[in-house]
Amino acid sequence: MSNGNGKTMPRMRKAVIPAAGLGTRMLPIARAVPKEMLPIVDRPAVSYLVEEAAKSGIEDILIITGRGKGAMEDYFDYSPEYEVHFAAKGKDGAVAEMRKTGDAYGARVYFIRQKEARGLGHAVGCARSFIGDEPFAVLYGDDIIFSEKPVVAQMIESYERYGRAVCGVKPVPEELVFKYCSLKTHTIEGSDNEFFVDDMIEKPQTREQMFSNYSILGRVLLTPEIFDIIDATSPGAGGEIQLTDAMRTLAQRDGMTALDFEGTRFDLGSKLGFLSANVTRAFDDPELGEDFREFLRGFAKEKGII
């Protein structure tokens, strides 16, 4: 396929999900359960990432794990014992759900370990042999985004339109920019939610270091040139190899688009984000939603909120 400039663009068919972090903000439960396996209603968080990628046309997904995270591999395996159990009870819907999970929503899922906790940039670098010379999506393991159209699909459209790497961004309160990154951008004529990236900084320490309150939140599309850049990137914030630092070089050398995506993002690395995602998902659940909304009304009245 080619973009508006006539440049032939390789198809985006691979994705990486970095999921090797310790989950320290979710202790003590993260000692026994990988935070990516914590449930959003009745499914683990990581399954929403895999589903988003698959629904965006991604065919092959590599999940970067670490020690004690084997539960993710078990989840995306077939479960014949459950299928037999539900089939015997005539619960065809449950059988179909088990099969859909084993099929990874139509994608193929692979796993590799990040043997050293050296940062997000290093984790993405572990995917080099898997990615080869293709462009790819990165879905951060801490970030769940609920949207009508998958965010990765939105970003692929931007990638095809401009022929450059893409970062998914949202404006965040100024006091929170210090937790993420800050982008310097300029407008694209004819677009109200896309910008070209000029510069970025990971976790600015002062307001003077901030470019804007736009931060990268959980999704990026990268070209394979990022791997050589990661290899040449020195440790940054926290003494780790920061993906933001490598992306800054890529943006200034080859160009990058920032997409203010449509969707609501939740930080599953925080307890509040985890609870908020569960309430939001349960509120609209086709089976639980009506009863859950009734519970919330009664709870709010009991507590004097309404």
Query: pLDDT tens, 270-285?
Result: 999 999 999 999 999 9
pLDDT by residue for the chain (306 residues), tens only, comes to 555 555 667 889 999 999 988 888 888 888 888 899 999 999 999 999 999 999 999 999 999 998 888 888 888 887 778 777 777 877 777 767 766 665 678 899 999 998 887 889 999 999 999 999 999 999 999 999 999 999 999 999 999 999 999 999 999 998 888 888 899 999 998 888 999 999 999 888 888 899 999 999 999 999 999 999 999 988 877 778 889 999 999 999 999 999 999 999 999 989 999 999 999 999 999 999 999 999 999 999 999 887
pTM above 0.85, yes or no: yes
Q: How many CA atoms lie within 13 A of 274 on its CB side?
A: 21
DSSP sequence for 135-160: -EEEE-TTEEEE-SS-HHHHHHHHHH
Closest CA to 19 of 68, 57, 53: 68
Q: Over the chain, what is the mean pLDDT? A: 90
Q: What sign has the CA pseudo-torsion 65, 68, 71, 74? A: positive
- What amino acid is encoded at 306 in this protein? I
CATH classification of 14-269, choosing from 3.90.550.10, 3.40.30.10, 3.40.50.620, 3.40.50.300? 3.90.550.10
Domain boundaries of the chain, sorted by first residue: 14-269
3-state secondary structure of 20: coil
Within 10 angstroms of residue 177's Cβ, the number of other Cβ atoms is 23
List all residues 6 or more positions away from 87 whose beta carbon is below 8 Å from its beta carbon: 95
Distance CA 44, CA 21 (A): 16
Distance CA 246, CA 237 (A): 12
Q: Are 106 and 100 in contact (CB under 8 A)?
A: no
**CA gyration radius, the chain:** 20
Distance CA 267, CA 275 (A): 10
Q: How many CA atoms lie within 13 A of 161 on its CB side?
A: 17
Residue 197 in tokens: 């990236």
Per-residue model confidence (pLDDT) at position 24: 84
Expressed in angstroms, the distance from the first to the final Cα of the chain is: 54
